[in-house]
Structure 1
Amino acid sequence: MQTFVMLGCIFMVLAVAIGAFGAHALKSKLTPDKLKVYEVGVQYHIAHALGLILVGMLVSHYPDEQVIVTGGWFLAAGILLFSGSLYALSVAKARFLGPITPLGGLSFMIGWVLIAVGVL
């Protein structure tokens, strides 16, 4: 499905830009602990953006597998919730977003399980 390939590419562009911003503009402004949190957000962002591209390719091989599509949407939600909350937690005093991070991680896990089920 072209939608997931395009979405994955857009998320990859954002991940590269956000990662570069962190490496150059934030490196001297964040504590080492907060920079590590930011970097974890970027790592998961990149991995799951690539996952979205994979979902787009899988859907073309399993066109009747709506469960793969649903898994892809869970990966996208995970990027927003997990990585987005880590970015906010590292650069702002947004401690209220702390509980959002595990929801993003859960979204990633649900997404990958659904993708695996769809391929089976």
Structure 2
Amino acid sequence: MTWLKIAALNLAVGVTLGAFGAHGLKDMVGAYEIGIWQTATLYLFVHALGLLALGVLDAFGRHRVHLPAGLLQAGVLIFSGTLYAIALGAPKWLGMVTPIGGVLMILGWLCLAFILPSKSAK
């Protein structure tokens, strides 16, 4: 599966979960949990758009994007996934796992910025 497809799937999931948080979740949880849900959705959207940009770079053959894209995808799954779970009532200790996702997202962006040369630099 290409990074463009993965980004598109992330964006579709983001819209779905955002809508659920805005409409279906509001009567199930409190304001604190809604805030957690909104944070998870924001990070999902931002990084899905980042993956979309990486997918475009990959499609045009301008950069090697698999490592930074993989780090971003793993990071958003862990970061947003744990926040969604906590908002739905999972144990709060799961929040200790959330920063691992954040670190992976940071590493993905740093990898893109500093580690990977463009394909033309070979």
Q: What is the TM-score normalised by the length of structure 1?
A: 0.89
Q: Which runs of 5+ in 1 are unaligned?
A: none
Paired with 1:92 and 1:104, the residues of 2 have a C-alpha distance of 19
Preserved CA contact (<8 Å) 1:71 1:112: yes
What does 1:91-110 correspond to in 2, within 5 Å? Answer: 91-110=88-107
Paired with 2:13 and 2:74, the residues of 1 have a C-alpha distance of 15
Number of residue pairs the alignment of both structures matches: 116
Greater helix percent: which structure?
1
Q: Secondary structure at the match of 1:87?
A: helix
Residue 35 of structure 1 pairs with residue 57 of structure 2: no
Paired with 1:58 and 1:30, the residues of 2 have a C-alpha distance of 40
Corresponding residue of 2:84: 87
Paired with 1:106 and 1:112, the residues of 2 have a C-alpha distance of 10
Q: Secondary structure at the match of 1:54?
A: helix
Matched to 1:62, the amino acid is R
Paired with 2:55 and 2:90, the residues of 1 have a C-alpha distance of 36
Paired with 1:119 and 1:6, the residues of 2 have a C-alpha distance of 24
Q: Which runs of 5+ in 2 are unaligned?
A: none
The percentage of counterpart residues that share the same residue type is 32
Of 60, 65, 69 in structure 1, the residue corresponding to residue 66 of structure 2 is: 69
